A and B are shown apart, each in its own frame.
Chain A
Amino acid sequence: MNLSTAQANNQKRIVLRAEDVWKSYDDGAITVLQGVEFEIAEGETVAICGSSGCGKSTLLHLFGGLDAPDRGRVSVNGIEVNRHRNLLRLLRVEVGFVFQLHNLIPDLTLAENCLIPTVATGLDHRTAHARLMQLAERTGLTHRLDQRIQKLSGGERQRTALCRALMNKPKILLADEPTGSLDEHSSGMVFDLLLDLVATEGVTLVMATHDRGLAMRCDRLLEMHDGRIHEPVSA
């Protein structure tokens, strides 16, 4: 992170904060997070790199409220993420998820898959449809809206997942290896789109990735090893 970015971030609102976060699995046999501490400011794009199993996905799950830390505090927009309280608001309004595997429902069409989050929030049909058209146009999926998921290519599926994640205009997008299942060409294309969308929508992006090339294109790059976050001098 260069000096000007750091200064700018100092003035920006902190939207994600991890304070001494610990997390282990198998009754403590595997400890993946060991006192993780970091902050992410509004509108930042942050890549978390690290080897498989180092805890990148776990960290994203904690921020999304899908899992709870054993110890420490995880907060989104100043509100502590608790698996019971605030969780629905978090998942519906604050946070959007994109996974390595697109996780779309195969029997539904592209449009229907994208509209699922609006069913959760009870958004009216007209507004939801307008938002869908807007995102479909941005991601180049307008002509595929009525296609079933099985008929879409890998890139199209991941773009659909991206649309779905952004349907309710979340403030934060958590992307877990969003291009991990794509070939190099599709990967680059989807990532360009991802950066473009988060920039225009003003979304904070936190992305777990193995791909250092993609990671370097984010505002910040965080390294994870030994269960802790290490921020390189510059990204």
Chain B
Amino acid sequence: MIFLKLIVTNLRRHRIRSFISVVGITFSVAAMLTVVTILQGAIGMFSGILSSDSEIIVFERNVSDLFFSNVPAAAVEEISSWPMVSHADPVLFGIVSSADHPIITCFGVTASDARIRKATWIAGDRFAFAQHADDVVLGERAAEFLSAKLGDHVPIGHGVFHVIGILKTANGFEDGGVFMPLGAAQIFFHKEGTSSVITIKLGNKDDAASFKALVKTKFANLIALEDAEFTRSYSQFRILKATAWAVGGCGLLMGGLGVANTMIMSVFTRIREIAILRVCGFSNTQIAAMIFGESAVVSLLGAMLGLVTGTCLLFALKLVPALHGYVDVTIQPLVMLIVIVLALLTGIAGALYPAIYAIRIRAVEALRFE
């Protein structure tokens, strides 16, 4: 109890300094949480597009990005005919731009695609999809930012398209995207006879391993991965995740430097007090534990406030119309745990030098200080 009081007393003694340190960690944690959660959400949304009513994704082996993947129509045809396959949907991804929107995701899909079949149609008739080459269906947000209504003709990229439907979807990418008939998309993106991926739904999920093996045997340049497997291994996702953690980590490092500064000052201003504890029989471990305890309190307080601030920030971002559907505020418990542990480790790292300094204080010299 007294040990805890020794820790807290020093923080209370220098309230402003402690407050600044806590705020430093708070902002670092909030920044890390926000960046990581947004990117995790984006990855989740992208995975969601791929796994819509499917368990397996087939794409070109050794491509860095799915936009560069080319799966021949012959492969789609053959895979669709395999008895274990319930349905196989070829999807072509493309990026186009309009006047005020440099990036609009385009999905070239067939009329039977789950994204068309299972979506909520706000306007239009899904059976009208893919009747004409210049027909497009817009996501609700895409319709909003393109100011397009059912029946309008809208300029997208280098073409003008007829809006035959508007879809509502919880997925930010799909909500802000454009759905084209696969054939039209292949011509538009100069990828005739190919798709980016095939999303596969199996009749029996237990056939996943044999399906993957069959793809490997039949198509040397294609690879089949289960959805979870794909999310784990896709290089773009890994780069995004690494970037998010790196950016967050830099923020935390800044916070850690703040803690280090506070702890150094804390030790320097109570050299005599540490000497008294030494004379009272405090061991090196106890002195170090006191310093680390102090930084742990700062870090934990900062982490807790950071989690609250980060969550509020995410909710605020979710309310921004331009980001509608892009921000997923569901904070994964693992992310929360990692952020808290990182904040604690940062605090401990920040207290390392001050703790070593405190351990080396010689009571006999320190007690001469007035």
Is the CB–CB distance between A103 and B367 below 8 Å?
yes
Among the 9-residue stretches A104-112, A134-142, A195-203, the one with 4 or more Cβ atoms under 8 Å from chain B is A104-112
Interface hit among B159-167, B273-281, B302-310: B273-281
- Considering residues A97, A105, A115, A121, which has the most beta carbons from chain B within 10 angstroms of its beta carbon? A105
A67 to B362, CA, bound (A): 8
A92-135 at interface with B (beta carbon < 8 Å) = 92, 97, 99, 103-105, 107-108, 112, 115-117, 119-121, 125
Give the CA-CA distance A99 to B277 in the complex, in Å: 14
Cβ of B2 and Cβ of A115 under 8 Å apart? yes
Q: Which residues of A contact B286 (CB under 8 A)?
A: 119-120
Contact A116 B272 (CB under 8 A): no
Contact B279 A66, beta carbon cutoff 8 Å: yes
Complex Cα spacing A97 to B364, Å:
12
**Residue from B12, B278, B280, B367 within 8 A of A164 (CB atoms):** B280
Q: Which residues of B contact A116 (CB under 8 A)?
A: 2, 276-277, 280
Q: Is B320 an interface residue (CB 8 A)?
A: no
SS class, residues of chain B in contact with chain A: helix
B364–A125 touching, CB < 8 Å: no
Instruction: Map CB proximity to A onto B40-79 as digits: 1 under 8 Å, 0 otherwise.
Output: 0000000000000000000000000000000000000000
Min Cβ gap B273→A in Å is 6
Contact count band on B? 20 to 34
A-B contacts, 30 of them at CB < 8 A, read A61-B364, A66-B278, A66-B279, A66-B364, A88-B283, A91-B278, A91-B279, A91-B280, A91-B281, A92-B281, A103-B272, A103-B279, A105-B273, A107-B9, A108-B6, A108-B9, A112-B5, A116-B276, A116-B277, A116-B280, A119-B3, A119-B282, A119-B286, A120-B281, A120-B282, A120-B283, A120-B286, A121-B281, A125-B1, A164-B280
Binding site for B on A (CB under 8 A): 61, 64, 66-67, 88, 91-92, 97, 99, 103-105, 107-108, 112, 115-117, 119-121, 125, 164, 168
